[in-house]
Structure 1
């Protein structure tokens, strides 16, 4: 059982890193800072298949790896802030057991953007940046919906193989 868990964690960590890497090639379409959040696909899968603690670990490791290879300390700070706010929200919603995986992913996408806006306002010492929130919320809803639908489909098809 331990070896299966280690293997699953390595697989999903690699999956999250690869998805983040792929995302570096996708241009943002008119919304600076907006991304698809492809790595959240792996995080949500692990949250539901293995557990919250493991999903958090994978998310942090992915952010550090991608930040070291393709970013800088600012990108790591922004990613960690977004991931932390997003993750807390997703865990709280998931724990109610009444909210669908798709809704959890949507809220995760929205809250990730909120977390990044908060850290940006602290770093830039500018609260005016919050005027950008509605645009990022729409982007988070759209990308969260796509990630949630894909996560839900893959989870249903693979849950018997990846459950511990």
Structure 2
């Protein structure tokens, strides 16, 4: 047998130690990778659960949105109906105001005629008062004429008796 070199003998345990160390490092890396992979799977599970919860919330929001849209459409129809009713009421009010204005004009015309009649009545009363005064003066004049006629008759009777 050949003699082995001392260097060769001393390298073998180093190589075995290095191999063992490499295996240990690889095992550590595999453990770290496995732990990381497990953690990643857990994270994916958590994300999946959150996505599912978010999906459920989105469905709820969609239902609420659809319900809100229906409510908004109903409210829109009610508002359109109310606006239509208000416009009709506005037209009726406008028509009523026009009728009132026509009646007010008629009332103004009647009031003017009443004022005119009152003025005419006052003028007629004034004329009647004047006519009363004239008639009174005429009566006084008639009495005077009758008095004079009596005096003349008395005087003629006296003249005849002489």
Specify if TM > 0.5.
no
Q: TM-score, normalised by structure 1?
A: 0.18
Q: Return the structure number with greater helix share.
A: 2
**Larger CA Rg, structure 1 vs 2:** 2
TM-score norm. by structure 2 comes to 0.18
